[in-house]
A and B are shown apart, each in its own frame.
Chain A
Amino acid sequence: MTDSTKPRFIQGLVILAWGFQADLFWVALPMALSLEARYYINRRWALEKLDFYRVADLTSIGLLGLLLFLFLNARTYHFITTLLEWLPILFFPLTIVYAYSTTERMSLDVMFHSLRKQKEPVQQSWDMDYFLFGLALLAAGISTAHSTAFFPLAAIAILWSLYPLRSKRYQRSFWVLAITIAILTGSFTHQFIRESHLAFKAKTEQWIARWLARRTDPLKTRTAFGKVGQLKLSDSILFRIQSAGGIPNLIHEASYDHVDDGDGMNWSIWDPGFETVNHEDDFRWRFAPRSEHEGLARVFLEFDREYSLVPVPAALSEISDLPALDVKMNAYGAIQGTGLVPSPYYDIRYGSGQSIYSKPTKIDTLVPENYQLLLSRIIDKDQYPGPEAVAFVRSFLGDYKYSLFQDEPRPSVSPLEHFLFVKKAGHCEYFANATTLLLRYMGIPARYVVGYSTTEYNEGIDMYIIRQRHAHAWTIAWINGSWQVVDTTPSTWFAAEHANEPLLQPLVDLLANYTFVFQLWWNDQKIEDYEVELYVIGALLALILLWRITTSEQVILTDERSIQKTREFPGSDSPFFKLEHYLTEIGLKRGRGELLRDWLVRIQKTELLPLLAIHNRWRFDPFGVNQDDKALLDQTSQQWLADQEPK
């Protein structure tokens, strides 16, 4: 229905502006046209509450679908802004249905399911036109594409919609003055808001930078003792690996050659330099010559930072499909992606025989003096030269027990001493530390390595699952001209940690794995693949719509003035009107207010006077005319009209 205070065109204009801003112009155009066309179409559909409920349910389903879609595609779309940008499309069906129905306002039970059952009639209602108008205006402001045009657009839209509502109490000039003041101050205010925000942002960024500078540990080049251990407390899944031919047991992240001489057993690297690895093509980096025996694996790990270490096997030969601008590597095999963007996976090739670690240096054999004293209590420096040293360390630590990581208070002696001589049990960090230092003490170059163990295989999704608690530390030793893994942590560690997992963990895993598989499938889908299905659904919906439009009850709106004109009066069905119409057509129009009798005399059609007599009785006699006279008038006038036809 049409409300006289509802301004025309403005809703269409705002919708077009929104379409233009949101790159949805071709969606917005038909929306705007169909909404504005109602002022020129007088057909309305007598829809019932149930019909509105259906459309509202469709809107709700659409909204849920949109939320799900945005949730699944959070990488591609910004959640809130995209949602707001698309909302006008979602609420358009409800608005258009109200626009072309005989109901003016949407009562809230249509939109809110919980109100539908209540006996008390719902009092509150919304005017969907204003709702869509506001939504489109808001959505038009989401994109910053044409930043100078938005304020004038908003000002015009609001000015236009407020004008018909103005109070008759005030003169028009007063209204103009008031709205001008409002728009001008609005213009200053928004500039003020923008500048204040920028200034505030700059200030806070400074504060945060200063605060971080005091606290950030350069983790990229150092590790603190206990870092791996803390990770061991969490069951959450970090990444998954898919490989047809099996993968190495250990996935390396970084290795360290330098140990502090303090008590903390902090490892760091001597040479912090990262070097850029050459691209083979856009997303492929080669680390070793190609070989036929390379294994291939896909690592499903999403990076949430721009710079991140990339977990790889030590025998890496290639990384591909890594969503990075550059890949850098240091002498210790730590691989860093820069300019990373979120992407579901990257591929690795490995096993060509080469290792990513640089050859040992003198640093790799250094043992701080305080540790030398400690280790001398275990063995003489020169007792086992060469490879036998490894066998000794294995057998020596073989008697030690694995114990879960506990954030226990530091003992009075150094952690290593406590581990070696008091507790004789610990988690992987203790074993790796002790092994590295013992080997070095016996003259074998060794490094401390952190990474992950790939011991959990999930058959359901055919992948290795790496959790935070799979974080692991081990040693590499330079034996017979190559780096070899010496992992002295008792093999029971995995089982021990597995036993410690929460009761509901399998359920959580199941959910996480299926969400993950669904996301993989979803990411592979392209809208083009479903073209046929979409066309079929579209055609079906169009048919249903067509059917609903044609079969539902319709009302023709009429102008008040035309009602006056077409109102039924007694004798309006008299055939004499046809004669009058014919005479008017041939140019003998009756004058304004001229009596029919005078007119017939004037145009010399006096033969019609007897018919006029019957007609007048038909029109004005309270008793009407009898059927015979009616038939006579009908026949004679038809005869007369037939006679007038040119032969």
Chain B
Amino acid sequence: MIREFIFPGFARLSRISRNASRRSSERGQLVTTSAVISAAVGIDTSLTMVYQLFALLLCIIIVSRLSLRLQKPKVSIRRRLPKYATAGEPFEYFINVANEGTQPERDLRLIDNPKVLPPDFEQFDRSREPGEETRNAYDRWLGFHRFIWLQRLNTGVTIKQGMVPEISLKAAVDTPMEATPLRRGIVNFQSITLLCPDPFGLNYSVSNFPDFEQLMILPRRYAIPKSFELPGGRHFQPGGVNSTWSIGESDEFVSLRDYRDGDSMRKIHWASTAKRDKPVVKEFQDEFFVRQAIILDTAVDDMEVLEETISVAASLLLQSENTDGLMDLIYVADVAKIVTAGRGHAQPTHQLEVLATIGRNEGTPEKLLDVVAAHQRLLSGAMLVLPGWTDEHKRLVRMLGKLPLAIFIITREEENLTEVPAGANVLPLGKIAERLAGA
């Protein structure tokens, strides 16, 4: 009740403190704090001489602030972002600063400003900060730390202050910036702030340069051992024992053609390559490629489980990049979707982009079952990435019947799962990397 009342103040407070903290260096804040304390202690000038200290600190702060108006840097600024970044993986990018003034620029700092997205009260009320129970009673009651955590998570990236190297006249330098994405999805960059110190190094003048840009943050991925084999590949069915064989790669040779990037080494026709002194590959009738699918269910309330499910799916996608077949990503957002990657289709990174922006399936997994049923006959194998192990999931597995399957179950409590099929990978939160490494 009280929290609902003070909640709007959180965003304002965090904005004020963010703006205030970037205007002073740490020692500047120390000087300001000391001035306030000495004002309080020195209020009776007959009792102590602390008012003299206060007068001195006050004048230093005033001179420092005034001197900021004297030397304003004249520069232009441009950001250069990479195409993708990965959640949880720090990355470096550059901000180019060009000197347009009449003297060399020294001792400048840069702050990059992603668009800050404060949580709404509903999100605030619903979420729990990891480790919140270990905070002290007051912090738990107030929930300001939870607010800050959510705000950072929504914003999506933390960026360290960058130190601009010295820029000589008419020159431009790249300032390395270190950023850490906190979640998958799209991060909006809004502006860049240039800080210029006063002579004492206590305060900074602040100039903002609007610069809108977007960065795609791909989901966090886990390492999957090289030995892990996708189900339904032809490695598994050498003798035509399995019914899937009919969908497998045909040996029917069509023609030879020049090698293109992305072609499998296996398809190189060595004899022709030797003859023509450049790589030549055999081309087969392509409707008979191995076709696998990652079937991803996102109908789950637990956000942490959802994130991990998507991460596991992304990790599996990455693994499939090395194969030469087609890979379908089957999932349900508001409608059921199949994204296919492979030769003649989209790049696997496109699927990763899809995973980066995918949300929760608000409905039931029914839709997913329908789309899988329709698509089933094209597949030679499938990987099921499931948040939990519900009755629908069991139906899904029964429906896929004899298709070779690899099942990944992401769950919060391992113990509560029943009737887990043999060979399924159960991945409890916190042990996912460990279990996948042994997959």
Residues of A within 8 A of B (CB): 78, 80-81, 84, 114-115, 117-120, 130, 134, 137-138, 141-144, 147, 150-151, 154-155, 158, 162, 165-170, 174-175, 178-179, 181-183, 185-187, 189-190, 192-194, 197-198, 201
Contact = CB atoms under 8 A, between A and B. Distances in A.
24 contacts: A80-B41, A81-B47, A118-B134, A118-B139, A120-B135, A120-B145, A141-B49, A141-B52, A143-B48, A144-B47, A144-B48, A144-B49, A150-B49, A151-B52, A162-B60, A166-B201, A174-B199, A179-B63, A182-B56, A182-B60, A186-B58, A186-B59, A190-B51, A193-B45
A444 to B, nearest CB: 56
A190 to B, nearest CB: 4
A76 B306 CA distance: 67
A186 B31 CA distance: 14
A197 B51 CA distance: 11
Interface of B: 25, 27, 30, 34, 37-38, 41-42, 44-60, 62-64, 67, 71, 105-108, 129-131, 134-139, 145, 196-202
B132 to A, nearest CB: 9
Nearest to A175: B199
B135 A118 contact: yes
Nearest to B196: A169
B50 A138 contact: yes
B49 A189 contact: no
Contact of B45 (A130, A168, A194): A194
Majority SS at the chain A contact face: helix
B134 A119 contact: yes
Given A154-B56, A198-B45, A185 B63 contact: yes
Contacts of A114: 136-139
B55 A190 contact: yes
A169 B109 CA distance: 12
A189 B59 contact: yes
A404 B303 CA distance: 71
Nearest to A161: B27
B134 A169 contact: no
A166 B200 contact: yes
B106 A193 contact: no
Nearest to A178: B199
Contacts of A181: 59, 63
A165 B28 CA distance: 11
Given A114-B138, A178-B200, A183 B47 contact: no
Contacts of A165: 25, 27, 200-202
A142 B134 contact: no
A494 B45 CA distance: 50
Given A119-B131, A167-B199, A175-B199, A193 B51 contact: yes
B42 A141 contact: yes
A38 to B, nearest CB: 20
**Which residue of A115, A150, A151, A186 has the most chain B CB atoms within 10 A of its CB atom?**
A186
Contacts of A130: 27, 30
A525 to B, nearest CB: 29
A138 B71 CA distance: 33
A205 B69 CA distance: 44
A162 B56 contact: no
B107 A168 contact: yes
A189 B55 CA distance: 6
B296 to A, nearest CB: 31
Nearest to B38: A138
Contact of B136 (A118, A138, A150): A118
A117 B132 CA distance: 11
Contacts of B202: 162, 165
Closest 3 CB pairs of A and B: A119-B131, A190-B55, A114-B136
A141 B107 contact: no
A171 to B, nearest CB: 9
A142 B62 CA distance: 24
Contact of A150 (B44, B52, B67): B52
A151 to B, nearest CB: 5
B30 A134 contact: yes
A158 B131 contact: no
A181 B59 CA distance: 8
Nearest to B137: A114
Contact of A147 (B49, B135, B196): B49
Given A81-B48, A179-B200, A186 B131 contact: no
Contacts of A151: 49, 52, 56
A193 B55 contact: yes
**Which residue of B34, B52, B58, B198 has the most chain A CB atoms within 10 A of its CB atom?**
B52
**Which residue of A80, A141, A168, A174 has the most chain B CB atoms within 10 A of its CB atom?**
A141
A608 B74 CA distance: 68
Contacts of A197: 44-46, 51
A189 B58 CA distance: 9
Nearest to B198: A167
Nearest to B130: A119
**Which residue of A120, A166, A167, A179 has the most chain B CB atoms within 10 A of its CB atom?**
A167
Given A120-B135, A142-B48, A147-B49, A158 B56 contact: yes
Given A142-B48, A193-B55, A167 B130 contact: no
Contacts of B53: 137-138, 141, 150, 154
A198 B138 CA distance: 43
**Which residue of B130, B131, B198, B201 has the most chain A CB atoms within 10 A of its CB atom?**
B201
Contacts of B106: 167-169
Nearest to B58: A189
Contacts of A134: 30, 34
Nearest to A176: B199
A7 to B, nearest CB: 12
Nearest to A174: B199
Nearest to B34: A134
Nearest to A126: B30
**Which residue of B51, B54, B56, B198 has the most chain A CB atoms within 10 A of its CB atom?**
B56
A161 to B, nearest CB: 9
Contacts of A193: 45, 51, 54-55
Contact of B59 (A80, A166, A183): A183
B52 A162 contact: no
Contacts of B37: 138
B59 A185 contact: yes
Contact of B131 (A120, A170, A189): A120
Contacts of A143: 48-49
Contacts of B138: 114
Given A181-B63, A185-B63, A142 B51 contact: no
Contacts of A137: 53
A120 B145 CA distance: 10
B201 A117 contact: no
